[in-house]
Structure 1
Amino acid sequence: MPATLLPGNAPQFWQGSTTGMVGLARIDGVAWLFMGDGKLVQPIPDGNHGKQTTVEDFPRAMRQTALRVTATQSRFTLQGGGVELSVNFLSPLEPGDSRRQSIPMSYVSVSARSIDGAAHAVQVYMEITGDWASGDATQEVVVERDDSQAARTWTLALAKPQLLVEQHEFAAWGRVLWSTPARDGVSMQAGDRLKLRAQFAGHGSLDGSNGAARRTIKALPALALVVDLGQCGASAKDADFAVGQVREQCIAYLEQPLRALWTKHFGDWKAMLDFFHGDAASARQRADALDVRVSRDARAVGGEHYEGLCALSLRQAYGGTELVLGPDGSPWAFLKEISSDGNVSTVDVLYPAAPVWMYLDPDYLRMLLLPLLHYAEQGGWPKSYAEHDLGSAYPQATGHNDGKEEDMPVEESGDMLIMVAAWLRRAARADAQAFASRHYALLKKWAQYLEGELPDPGFQNQTDDFAGSIAHSVNLALKGIIALAAMGQVAGFAGHADDATHYRDRARKDIAYWAARAKDPKAPHLNLTYHDAGGQGTWGTLYNGFADTLLDTGLIPADVRTMQAAWYRQQSNTFGLPLQVPHSYAKSDWALFVAAWLADQPVAQELIDRVYAYADGTPDRVPFCDLYNTVTGARVAFQARPVQGGIFAPLAVRSMPKPVA
């Protein structure tokens, strides 16, 4: 939602189109708006140009008194008519529990209690509109009531679905579920939103009819649910709702449709939905515990500002992924490169996102790596280095067997080796050994490619492709060198002692070359490119130092770390550290990578504080943007991307066990 005020503001899909949701509370016979852009037909006492009615904003809204955002929940508190409402939006993340993680649903909970000492009759109305089905308002939608044993449910689907196709970033297949648990006092109705709201305002209930069986999205058909809470006193009474979109098939991997992981655990979507409703109380307890954990850990690292950044980032990181059944029936996860290229499982998007799973949910990182490894091993990828992605347009993971893609050879190969090594460090010893052995031939092939390109990579594209390709890059070279050391750790897990020694020694040799050529001969900083290749007087953000700390490879000299920390303090603007000369823009994920690398330096907290200042003060109302102007705080590009998982880089470092000799 592009606002912090619940009444009068409509939720949006990440790309900016409205996904209407309206909430009304009827208190002692008087209707109040508490959520959304709720308009109503109002009478005109003496007529107006011959009209007896007019469509106006809702005449009475509850007053919002608080908003609390945690890692998994957004809770609004409102008051009116002697009643306090708490409206809570919960997206369960469930680290380590892939069964629950596979359920593509969220909770909306409304609780009411008296705050004036008197009992009040309260009914709660919640509505979604047809624009939840697509961003294309010309599409027709089908609305059906489809109850299950434990739930009363409206379904919303396109009249002409297209399997495994996107329209305006929406899935053009599947169905939206809008549901509440079966209980006394529940009523439903679908149809004209203005009539439904008037029906509720006048009667406190709905009549069960479906007047929106087939409408265009432009007509904004409404799907409404009402829960009568009865008389509310000092103890809160709850009305629970669930919303989500279910698709049995999610991804086309090399032309093979892959089923959603939830289909393995539940017979159909009704069984899944009934379980989800029944699990609500326990889910809230687990979410509360997870919020406490993230808050405590973040405060210990970077104080209140870091806690806030983690709260903003966690749901966004997971929200760019989904769980499926791989070709062999094991759980896989795919990632969408939201708001930039729309690619499937882009390696250099997964890499900046990965710290959140390194810290909180290592097995989720493993599931995200599996499709990338499988494709390179068995899918027909023709090159000696790691692929950039699994397909140009989500959800079509068609691969690039013709070799035509946005190559980033050192970047992607280094990313994969570092992420695999990080997961091995977080896994059980036996699982790590088996994984390293299973994929050893491929990982060694990528390491051999890096050996041929290092210590001075040629002219290559890299993850910050908006800044252009670069030759002799100090930052890119560092990633490749650390990746060779990471390969040494992989070799250790796989039982190849000679290779482990070889890659450690090669990394140490290359870092000596790097250190001699990366430093500017006339200024106290590293250059953007090697100085003997024309880089003198330039500089950039050395975010690839993060992996050296993460994997405890100990390659970057201590004096280089101290020098860079001091330099960055001098170069920072109000809203952060510029990514590289001559630009003033920054990447929030990379800034936190640097804070993790330089955690023992004063600049680390300053980087956190400046990214927080941007997130708190930016004039742009979009989901957490990662590329922004450090002078103005304005968005430059991108929004809602899972790369904000990189905010968790300092916590990833703290959670990483020491390497086993």
Structure 2
Amino acid sequence: MFSASSIVTAVALLGAGVVSTSPSWTTNPFNPAAIPLAVRSPYLSAWLPQGGGNALNTAWPTFWTGMIVGWAGYVSVDGNVFTFLGAPSVTATQAVQKSFQFTSTQSTFVMTAGPVDLTVNFLSPVEPADLVKQSFPFSYLSLSAASNDGSSHAVQVYTDISAEWVTGNVSLVANWTTTAGDNNLVTHQVQLATQEPFTELNDQIQHGSAFFSTGSTQGVTYQTGEDVQVRAQFVQSSVLLNSQDTQFRAVSDKWPVFAFASDLGSVSTSSTPVVFALGHVRDPAIQYITSDGPLQERSLYFWTQFSTIGDAIASFLGDYTNALARANAIDNQISTDARNVSLDYAELASLSLRQAFAGSEVTVSKNSDGSFNASDVLMFTKEISSSGSVSTVDMVYTIWPLYLYVNATLGKYALLPMLNYQASGQYPNAWSVHDLGSHYPEATGHNDGKDIAMPVEECGNMLIMVLSYTQRTGDNSLIVTYYDLLDKWAQFLVDNALHPSNQLSSDAFAGVLANQTNLAIKGIIGIRAMSEIANMTGNSTGSQQYASVATSYASQFQKLATSTDGKHLTLSYGNDSSWGLSYNLYADRMLGTNVFPASIYELQTSWYGNADTSSQFGLPLDTRNNFSLSQWEIWTAATVNDTTVRDSLVGGVLKLAADGKSSKPFGDWYDTLDGSVNSFAARPVVVGLTGLVSQRKRV
């Protein structure tokens, strides 16, 4: 499924926190801080917070910000009703959570409801080989029951969502419709009465609709209305009324919910699953700056194949069996590759894939006649929680190994928005732009040049990503089309990489610093990358010149950046008491450029190995503070030459994942002394915790 030379990227994960006391249910591999339920796009992002260890039916699912997104579930067994999902006020007997397991694409709970075990599976598929399927902003919920006492039992299941799924302000008015029979589906659609395209409120989009669908088969009933009334109807009767509430109102006014019930019949052995599709769809999806004319409105790619949302949902639901098989294959591949590194790494290997891909959206533009231009594919990513920016270059760079692992062409689609914009000449600075817009989903550029300045960081990142894409695919289109732009950035690095001025790196929260050794490493590798790019395009003179500069800079760097006792690289030139994680060496090994000699890797391996991490959650990012970023812990682990040191760094991150200090979707910025997580949550960069086999499986 994946390239044999792939980097283990989807294994870059983390969930910030198994509970500190063991839960009463069995877990595999562990209980993360927040369990992904429906995690598919920046606006379809529902999690079950853990912290002290919540069962599926003891807390409400929440958006990644912590706002509740109502999602309830009951199961009726021989007329006795049990709650299995959410914390609804209409009480029933609590089903007992028996087990929980997560993989890269699935979260599965087994809930005991008296004499029946209900299997609840949340599947957020990742489809890297199919742009239509990957751009579907939908996830699956499947429910199946099995007798646990050897007898047959009458079983009916119920689930609903609330209007909380469509807004960051529950005082706003929503409206809704239910259609039954079209495409053999029953579909609830809910949206705000007043739409605001491209506008977020508390990070939730104020545009588009939530869709909740299932097949219109025998035994399926539906109902919309006030939460307590609809839920009480099922608790009392195990069936719904096929009725609709048309009193449109504020989300918090008698809390409208949109429900389904399904009769599974008499259940002995495992029943056939009943499957639901849940999604959030908006059109247009992205506003993008182009070289001329008005801002371009872009749509999700799946619209190239479907004329109605009903057709799209029908295709998605109808594909469930095959989608599950593909998901199982991805899960197994990631688990196998992670175990080839270490068991600890495998423990961490399944929680990031959904989180990483849920930050990105694959889009297309329209032709002048209104048809979709399926050849104009651009992928945009939201910098969730840290800034909300669009396609931040160093964020894409952190995700980059994932694209190389699953499908390098996705990396091309992620690079093109930045390359196209800067090639248009609208961005005035001599270095690469930091992001494409301050507020997702408005990719409106920075024509004033006043974006966050990370000159050496972003120039190096762009050159490294473009080269690695070309190496992996053999596709020279990027290096040919954008050669002048790449050369401009390389020239900037020639002038600035060896002695970086007082500026930010990717770790912006740490502040500016002059002569950062780790930043110089990236700049020098970027220059060497341009040498390779020049060679690939037939510019042998340019290739030799850039190679000569990179070699000279690497030699000078060793003298400038090594402490006077020769034991480690410093954080900044001349500061002998300082040091940090030299994670930017990762790119040298990823590209196979060997800019830096083996002695540098040996030096750092020895230094990390002598550090006392026995009571810590890995090593600090640098000597300025105790905090670190978990992805850089793993990238550093990928650069060391000793498996004991590597495993120590991995073990620190695993300890973080198991410390039970957070109930938020994994946040990568944390304190290495106590494991407390800072403000970041659910960021797609969590997948940057990857690459541990890249030194053996180079591009």
Q: How many Å apart are 1:62 and its aligned residue?
A: 1.2
Matches within 5 A, 1:579-598: 579-598=621-640
Q: How many Å apart are 1:499 and its aligned residue?
A: 2.2
Q: Which residue of 2 aligns with 1:208?
A: 242
Contact 1:491 1:497 in 2 (8 A): yes
Q: Which residue of 2 aligns with 1:51?
A: none
- Shift in CA distance, 650/550, structure 1 to aligned 2, threshold 3 Å: same
Question: Which segment drifts farther, 571-580 or 87-96?
Answer: 571-580
Is structure 2 residue 60 aligned with structure 1 residue 10? Answer: yes
**Higher RCO (Cα < 8 Å, 6 or more apart):** 2
Contact 1:618 1:635 in 2 (8 A): no
Q: How many Å apart are 1:509 and its aligned residue?
A: 0.9
Is structure 2 residue 549 aligned with structure 1 residue 530? Answer: no
Residue aligned with 1:222, SS: strand
Contact 1:344 1:395 in 2 (8 A): yes
Matches within 5 A, 1:168-187: 168-187=202-221
Matches within 5 A, 1:257-276: 257-276=297-316
> How far, CA to CA, are the matches of 2:60 and 2:240 in structure 1?
22
Contact 2:589 2:698 in 1 (8 A): no
Q: String of CA shifts for 1:529-549, please: whole Å, max 9, x gaps.
A: 111xxx221111111010011
Question: Which segment drifts farther, 221-230 or 208-217?
Answer: 208-217
1:20 maps to a residue whose letter is G
Is structure 2 residue 277 aligned with structure 1 residue 242? Answer: yes
Q: Which residue of 1 aligns with 2:351?
A: 312
2:347 maps to a residue whose letter is G
Q: How many Å apart are 1:192 and its aligned residue?
A: 1.2
Match of 2:526 among 476, 483, 502: 483
> How far, CA to CA, are the matches of 1:606 and 1:196 in structure 2?
53
Q: How many Å apart are 1:523 and its aligned residue?
A: 5.6
> How far, CA to CA, are the matches of 1:575 and 1:122 in structure 2?
47
Q: String of CA shifts for 1:283-326, please: whole Å, max 9, x gaps.
A: 000000110000000111132x2223231111111111111114
Match of 2:149 among 108, 112, 116: 116
Match of 1:253 among 288, 297, 300: 288
Question: Which segment drifts farther, 568-577 or 479-488?
Answer: 568-577
Question: Which segment drifts farther, 391-400 or 522-531?
Answer: 522-531
Q: Which residue of 2 aligns with 1:414?
A: 460
Matches within 5 A, 1:354-393: 354-378=400-424, 380-393=426-439
Is structure 2 residue 690 aligned with structure 1 residue 630? Answer: no
Q: Which residue of 2 aligns with 1:550?
A: 590
Contact 1:73 1:91 in 2 (8 A): yes
Q: How many Å apart are 1:578 and its aligned residue?
A: 0.3
Q: How many Å apart are 1:600 and its aligned residue?
A: 4.2
1:105 maps to a residue whose letter is F
> How far, CA to CA, are the matches of 2:425 and 2:554 in structure 1?
34
TM-score using structure 1 length = 0.93
Question: Which segment drifts farther, 522-531 or 629-638?
Answer: 522-531
Residue aligned with 2:577, SS: coil
Q: String of CA shifts for 1:397-431, please: whole Å, max 9, x gaps.
A: 1111111111111000000111111111211x2xx
Percentage of matched positions with identical amino acids: 36
Is structure 2 residue 642 aligned with structure 1 residue 609? Answer: no
> How far, CA to CA, are the matches of 2:399 and 2:70 in structure 1?
29
Q: Which residue of 1 aligns with 2:12?
A: none
Q: How many Å apart are 1:651 and its aligned residue?
A: 4.6
Q: Which residue of 2 aligns with 1:140?
A: 173
Q: Which residue of 2 aligns with 1:350?
A: 396
> How far, CA to CA, are the matches of 1:505 and 1:326 in structure 2?
42
Is structure 2 residue 92 aligned with structure 1 residue 92? Answer: no
> How far, CA to CA, are the matches of 1:619 and 1:141 in structure 2?
36
Q: How many Å apart are 1:656 and its aligned residue?
A: 3.4
Q: How many Å apart are 1:211 and its aligned residue?
A: 1.9
Q: Which residue of 1 aligns with 2:322?
A: 282
Which one has a larger percent helix, Structure 1 or Structure 2? 1
> How far, CA to CA, are the matches of 2:464 and 2:349 in structure 1?
23
- Shift in CA distance, 652/17, structure 1 to aligned 2, threshold 3 Å: farther
Q: String of CA shifts for 1:211-237, please: whole Å, max 9, x gaps.
A: 254121113211101111111111332
> How far, CA to CA, are the matches of 1:493 and 1:111 in structure 2?
55
Match of 1:645 among 680, 684, 687: 687
1:584 maps to a residue whose letter is N
> How far, CA to CA, are the matches of 1:651 and 1:315 in structure 2?
21
Q: Which residue of 1 aligns with 2:444?
A: 398
Q: How many Å apart are 1:553 and its aligned residue?
A: 1.2
Contact 1:356 1:647 in 2 (8 A): no
Residue aligned with 2:543, SS: helix
Match of 1:196 among 219, 230, 235: 230
Q: How many Å apart are 1:241 and its aligned residue?
A: 0.6
Q: String of CA shifts for 1:243-275, please: whole Å, max 9, x gaps.
A: 010112111112221112111121121111000
> How far, CA to CA, are the matches of 1:235 and 1:86 in structure 2?
9
Match of 1:162 among 187, 196, 200: 196
Is structure 2 residue 258 aligned with structure 1 residue 223? Answer: yes
1:598 maps to a residue whose letter is V
Q: Which residue of 1 aligns with 2:45?
A: none
Q: How many Å apart are 1:502 and its aligned residue?
A: 2.2
2:306 maps to a residue whose letter is F
> How far, CA to CA, are the matches of 2:450 and 2:105 in structure 1?
39
1:642 maps to a residue whose letter is P
Contact 2:168 2:205 in 1 (8 A): no
- Shift in CA distance, 652/239, structure 1 to aligned 2, threshold 3 Å: farther
Residue aligned with 1:177, SS: strand
> How far, CA to CA, are the matches of 1:562 and 1:75 in structure 2?
43
- Shift in CA distance, 28/654, structure 1 to aligned 2, threshold 3 Å: farther
**C-alpha root-mean-square deviation of aligned residues, in Å?**
1.5
> How far, CA to CA, are the matches of 1:125 and 1:388 in structure 2?
47
> How far, CA to CA, are the matches of 1:213 and 1:289 in structure 2?
46
Q: Which residue of 1 aligns with 2:76?
A: 26
- Size of the aligned set, in residue pairs, is 633
Match of 2:556 among 483, 502, 513: 513
> How far, CA to CA, are the matches of 1:320 and 1:651 in structure 2?
25
Residue aligned with 1:33, SS: strand
Question: Which segment drifts farther, 565-574 or 636-645?
Answer: 565-574
Contact 1:548 1:597 in 2 (8 A): no
Q: Which residue of 2 aligns with 1:46?
A: none
> How far, CA to CA, are the matches of 1:161 and 1:559 in structure 2?
59
Q: Which residue of 2 aligns with 1:49?
A: none
- Shift in CA distance, 503/327, structure 1 to aligned 2, threshold 3 Å: farther
Contact 2:92 2:235 in 1 (8 A): no
TM-score using structure 2 length = 0.88
Is structure 2 residue 128 aligned with structure 1 residue 103? Answer: no
Q: How many Å apart are 1:636 and its aligned residue?
A: 1.8
Question: Which segment drifts farther, 481-490 or 102-111?
Answer: 481-490
Residue aligned with 1:190, SS: strand
Contact 1:20 1:128 in 2 (8 A): yes
Residue aligned with 1:237, SS: coil
Matches within 5 A, 1:421-436: 421-427=467-473, 429=474, 432-436=475-479
1:310 maps to a residue whose letter is A
> How far, CA to CA, are the matches of 2:407 and 2:112 in structure 1?
38
Contact 2:464 2:587 in 1 (8 A): yes
Is structure 2 residue 89 aligned with structure 1 residue 39? Answer: yes
Q: How many Å apart are 1:379 and its aligned residue?
A: 5.7
> How far, CA to CA, are the matches of 1:652 and 1:327 in structure 2?
39
Residue aligned with 2:213, SS: strand
